[in-house]
Amino acid sequence: MAPVAAVTRWRLLLVLSAAGLGAVGAPKPPNILLLLMDDMGWGDLGVYGEPSRETPNLDQMAAEGMLFPNFYSANPLCSPSRAALLTGRLPIRSGFYTTNGHARNAYTPQEIVGGVPDEEHLLPELLKGAGYASKIVGKWHLGHRPQFHPLKHGFDEWFGSPNCHFGPYDNRARPNIPVYRDWEMVGRYYEEFPINLKTGEANLTQVYLQEALDFMKRQQAAQRPFFLYWAIDATHAPVYASRPFLGTSRRGRYGDAVREIDDSVGKILRLLRDLRITENTFVFFTSDNGAALISAPKQGGSNGPFLCGKQTTFEGGMREPAIAWWPGKIPAGQVSHQLGSVMDLFTTSLSLAGLAPPSDRVIDGLDLLPAMLWGQLTDRPIFYYRGNTLMAVTLGQYKAHFWTWTNSWEEFRQGVDFCPGQNVSGVTTHTQEEHTKLPLIFHLGRDPGEKYPLSFASPEYLDALRGVTLVVRQHQKTLVPGQPQLNVCNQAVMNWAPPGCEKLGKCLTPPESIPEKCSWPH
């Protein structure tokens, strides 16, 4: 049976089964677990070459499943990347960018009043069509205000926070970040959920683990397919770990956090075995963006051989660790050279559920099932956006940079360095350098560190340029950006302003303070 025909038949049987119309023995929709780490780098796992070899469970997961060495986030920062995963669309399409500055990164701190638009269809909402129960555990990061709540966008359950564990704050000018169970605020970071910044001790990963295990047990008991989005943040600075893991890593506190995550993933997979549902459960492990080298080495990870890290569109900022695991379905011990993206998890999950992606909008994610089940590779570009600016594109093994920039000279002189120890002349620039007429092109197979651009006059450069130019023209010709959600007090999101907040409906640069009544209710 041809791969495409097999996938079509698979979808049909799953749809019939979900509707109760399938023949006896027809496959039931598999459970789906997406394990999304925060600021974890490509080089943080033993299977990717980390020399301490402190991730035995994730390494075993890779040995039993499939490794993707060429897997990418959709943005070098957390909120846009997470929006892309759950919508299957580039962040610029859903409005997860800012126009406050050219090539400016943005996310959803307390000062931002935007979030995921109502017209976007998120993965848990669509999976309801196949009977799935869904839960998010951990970091949401797609908006603070009530209309952006995860349960308003398809999730049945939530335990976690609208933001990262920043703080502590004084609870006067700014409150500590709240933690929710579904609609109820059950505490705040640094208060009911303590984090000791001095020692790094926090029990959050254990809490998040138990939430995941309990959810899986309940859904299996109910014989209902489930979708678990486990979006924990222990590897985001300030990194933390529970007491049994503190001081156990050769890599310091960051390594302690990684070891606890690895142990937790091992317990999740062990429960699937104990419940005897491994062959009906698809698990995918990855990260939202590259390691934050600005926090390294004590509070940040490793991007392996790649250039720079989080916040940049060099490989270290957007190439991620990625492991697919589905015993009995995905052949064990395989490496796929498919160019993959977090957006593919949206389309692949729908395919697993027997559902087609929405047809009324552009979906950027690919279905990875042909690559995972039969080794069938699909040619596709990877677009690297920073804000609403297309910075680079990879096609095959060639990556073309249209803009280069790390961060400003002002920030750099203050000690903010996105590429410590990795200066590449003319590439890791501190001014925004335009290369749209003659892009800098690298062969990532020979030069994964992006140190040696191809000669402009070489036949190889000209051939690569022709292919890249065609892809970019096609992309930009049909691109319709969504209304920006990450501007400070952007008018596009002020339609929902509470009384007394209407005057905030303007773009402010630099950010000004926002009254507490105009942000997420606490």
- Same domain for 351 and 236: yes
Report the pLDDT value the prediction gives residue 116, as an integer from 0 to 100: 96
What domain range includes position 408? Answer: 389-478
Q: Is residue 228, in this structure, part of any structural domain at all?
A: yes
Q: Is residue 289, in this structure, part of any structural domain at all?
A: yes
Determine the residue type at 55.
T
* pLDDT band of 5, cuts 50, 70, 90: very low
Q: Is residue 155, in this structure, part of any structural domain at all?
A: yes
- Asked if the model's pLDDT at residue 19 lies above 50, the reply is no
Cα gap 418→167, rounded to integer Å: 22
- Helices 204-221 & 253-274, crossing angle to 10 degrees? 10
- Same domain for 169 and 225: yes
- Same domain for 248 and 356: yes
Q: pTM score, two decimals? A: 0.91
Residue 288, annotated as binding a ligand: yes
- Same domain for 403 and 347: no
- Same domain for 259 and 197: yes
Cα gap 145→123, rounded to integer Å: 20
Pairing relation of β-strands 403-404 and 433-434? Answer: antiparallel
Strand partners, 32: 227, 282
Could you report the per-residue pLDDT of 51-90, keeping only the tens digit for each? Answer: 999 999 999 999 999 999 999 999 999 999 999 999 999 9
- Same domain for 393 and 357: no
Of 170-174, 400-404, 441-445, the range with the lowest mean pLDDT is 170-174
Q: Is residue 197, in this structure, part of any structural domain at all?
A: yes
Residue 156, annotated as binding a ligand: no
Q: Is residue 328, in this structure, part of any structural domain at all?
A: yes
CATH code: domain of residue 296: 3.40.720.10
- Asked if the model's pLDDT at residue 520 lies above 70, the reply is no
Q: Which two tokens stand for residue 80?
A: 């846009």
Report the pLDDT value the prediction gives residue 271, as an integer from 0 to 100: 98
- Same domain for 189 and 164: yes
Cα gap 443→397, rounded to integer Å: 6
What residue ranges in 454-506 does DSSP mark as E strands? none
State the DSSP code for 171.
S
- Same domain for 141 and 79: yes
Tell me the pLDDT of the chain averaged across its residues. Answer: 90
Number of domains present in the structure of the chain: 2
- Same domain for 139 and 100: yes
Residue 182, annotated as binding a ligand: no
Q: Is residue 199, in this structure, part of any structural domain at all?
A: yes
User: Are the C-beta atoms of 325 and 280 separated by less than 8 Å?
Assistant: no
* pLDDT band of 26, cuts 50, 70, 90: low
Residue 344, annotated as binding a ligand: no
- Same domain for 422 and 286: no
Task: Indicate if the alpha-carbon torsion angle 258, 321, 81, 403 is positive or negative.
Answer: positive
Domain edge (last residue) among 313, 348, 380: 380
- Same domain for 326 and 254: yes
Pairing relation of β-strands 178-181 and 184-188? Answer: antiparallel
Domain edge (last residue) among 380, 402, 424: 380
Residue 289, annotated as binding a ligand: yes
Percent of the chain with pLDDT over 90: 84
- Same domain for 413 and 268: no
User: Are the C-beta atoms of 115 and 485 separated by less than 8 Å?
Assistant: yes
Which residues form the catalytic set? Answer: 78, 141
Q: Is residue 491, in this structure, part of any structural domain at all?
A: no
Helix (H) or strand (E) holding 444: none
CATH code: domain of residue 455: 3.30.1120.10
Q: Is residue 175, in this structure, part of any structural domain at all?
A: yes
